[in-house]
Amino acid sequence: LKGVYCGFCQESPHYRWNTVLTKQEIINKFNRFGERLGDLRDISILERDKSSRINKLKITTSNQSFEITVKEFRDIIGPDIIKSSTFDLSLTNTRVFFEGKGWGHGVGMCQWGAYFMAKQGYTYQRILSYYYPGSRLAAIDKIKP
């Protein structure tokens, strides 16, 4: 699967999102997963893909520095808090500000986009062909192995 641009979800409550966490909240979430991190000093973006989604972050604490995939980071912090891998971040002495776009992994059908397309009268065939270009719909009993 390959992600496609979705311009239909701009009215979604998750199209743009902001989250503020204290540095200690982030450390506490990592500690729950067995990490023993010192004070959070920095989080930096190491790598983005061509659609601006983050692939890798670098986390620096008072006792270590390590790289982490954005999927692992979202799993630890919570995918309902860091809603997608499309975000920017900035740090102050005590807080980390996340400013992002979308909700999910960026591959497949945008749920909000499909909802708004349906409200505009698009058929399910058009919606599916938009999100899965090159695919075709067929009855399962008509597909040859």
Q: What would the pLDDT profile of 65-88 be if each residue is shown by its tens digit?
A: 999 999 999 999 999 999 999 999
**pLDDT at residue 16 in the model:** 86
pTM > 0.85: no
At 101-138, the pLDDT tens digits run: 877 766 677 788 888 889 999 999 998 888 888 888 88
Work out the angle at residue 56's Cα, subtended by the Cα atoms of residues 24 and 40, and round it to the nearest 5 degrees: 20
Q: Return the number of other C-beta atoms located less than 10 Å from residue 87's C-beta.
A: 22
Q: How far is residue 55's CA from residue 46's CA, in Å, rounded to a whole number?
A: 8
Among residues 33, 35, 39, 92, the alpha carbon closest in space to that of 61 is found at 39
**Ramachandran area for residue 137 (φ above 0: left; ψ -120 to 50: alpha; else beta):** beta
Q: Which residues contact 31 (CB under 8 A, 6 or more apart)?
A: 37
- Cβ(85)–Cβ(73) below 8 Å: no
pLDDT at 1 over 70: no
Residue with tokens 């204290």: 22
Q: Which two tokens stand for residue 21?
A: 């966490």
